[in-house]
Homo-oligomer: A and B are copies of this chain.
Amino acid sequence: MVNAAAADTGIDALQTPALLLDLAKVRANAARMSARARSLGVSLRPHLKTAKSAPVARILTEGWSGAIMVSTLAEAEYFFSEGFSDILYGVGVTPSKFERIAGLATRGRFGVLVDSLETAKALVDYSSSSPLRLDVHIEIDADGHRGGVAPQSQLLLDIGARLTQARDLTLRGVLTHAGEAYNARGTTALERCAAGERDAVVNAAVRLTKAGHQCESVSLGSTPTAMFARDLSGVTELRAGVFAFGDLVQAELGACAIEDIALGVLTTVIGHQPGAGRVIVDAGWLALSGDRGTADFPHDWHYGAVADPLGRQVQVDVTVKRANQEHGLIEAREGILDVSRFPLGSRVRILPNHACATAAAFDTYAVHDGNEVVAFWPRKNGW
């Protein structure tokens, strides 16, 4: 995992903007979620949509079977190449992707999800003419957030019945994601989201089983519901992704502490506008992402929180208040910033609102242990 070429390089030698990843924090975040899954009596399938990196996936799956979830077929291809052998693709499939999916299904255990009779029928038809040894999970709608079938619907049973008509397809189970948890505020509301997510997927599993169908996997998750769930009876698998890095949205939700945030963008002060109380850094919305995920929380961090290069000394009175493509504008929350606090040429680390979005602009993590860069890890972007 450690790239020898990076040895003896300090953070100071990096060109900016650079995507920093604190190795100790990633390990601690992974250990915390692993312990949580164990205490809840479920297995952990990390979602790699945030990290998109095999070395990170190895840390997150330590002590588990190695099962992972991905958000693109490009990730699936990459992780099979990196030796992972149980991969679930978390976006609904469509016939124009069946050929690529069939290729992936020859490389290990590969799963997809469906939430319509039409797609289930298309998969069954495809598998009758081409070999397609595939796991299929039925997506359950827990909270009206996005897709999925209602747990109490006839459609659930109809899809189950349709899928079992194909010899090579395995109806592996049911799966949900309580995305509306991101709109919940406070412990009680988040615990209610987690309970609703569990009830939806467990009810669906019970109904499928009673109808005579296999339902080995009962899977749910998001980082906030994982952290606020009190009881996962009936569930077999927990999925989560952003916990690996943490971010300001997770911190505002209470799903991590600000000190747990492993990801950050190292940036250099390139300009001062003393009259306006403005410090200009060489990380704009392209490096930081335009994600304004904390806009609706009590602490709006604008385009990111300002810390020292190691992520310490988070400044509460200033933020990256505005961002152009390659310029971030650090200003005081109130009043006029004394720009001498951030000398020209000095460096700060910007903590991200949303780790998935911020990491996406980079193809490499500069992995550090304190001031030392110990590795450069790749990311598999694209589709």
Q: List residues of A whose CB falls within 8 A of some B CB.
A: 15-18, 49, 71-73, 90-97, 100, 115-116, 118-119, 122, 141, 144, 146-147, 179, 268-273, 276, 280, 282, 285-287, 289-292, 324-327, 329, 344-345, 356-357, 360-363, 381-383
Contacts and interface: CB of A to CB of B under 8 A. Distances in A.
20 contacts: A15-B73, A16-B383, A17-B383, A90-B326, A91-B270, A91-B282, A91-B327, A92-B282, A94-B344, A95-B345, A116-B271, A146-B280, A146-B324, A285-B291, A285-B357, A286-B360, A289-B290, A290-B292, A361-B381, A361-B382
A1 to B, nearest CB: 22
Nearest to A356: B325
B272 A116 contact: yes
A12 to B, nearest CB: 9
Contacts of A291: 285, 290
A291 B325 CA distance: 11
A149 B270 CA distance: 14
Q: Which 8 residue pairs are nearest across A and B when measured between Cβ atoms?
A: A92-B270, A147-B271, A91-B326, A71-B326, A92-B271, A290-B290, A94-B270, A94-B268
A344 to B, nearest CB: 5
Contacts of A146: 271, 280, 324, 327, 329
Q: Which of A15, A90, A286 is packed against the most chain B CB atoms within 10 Å?
A: A286
Contact of A360 (B118, B280, B361): B361
A49 B325 contact: yes
A344 B289 contact: no
Given A92-B270, A146-B271, A363-B382, 19 more contacts: A15-B96, A15-B100, A15-B383, A90-B326, A91-B326, A92-B271, A93-B270, A94-B345, A96-B268, A96-B345, A116-B272, A119-B344, A146-B280, A147-B273, A147-B327, A286-B357, A287-B383, A362-B382, A363-B381
A276 B148 CA distance: 12
A49 to B, nearest CB: 6
**Among the interface residues A16, A118, A344, A363, which one has the most CB atoms of the partner chain B within 10 A?**
A344
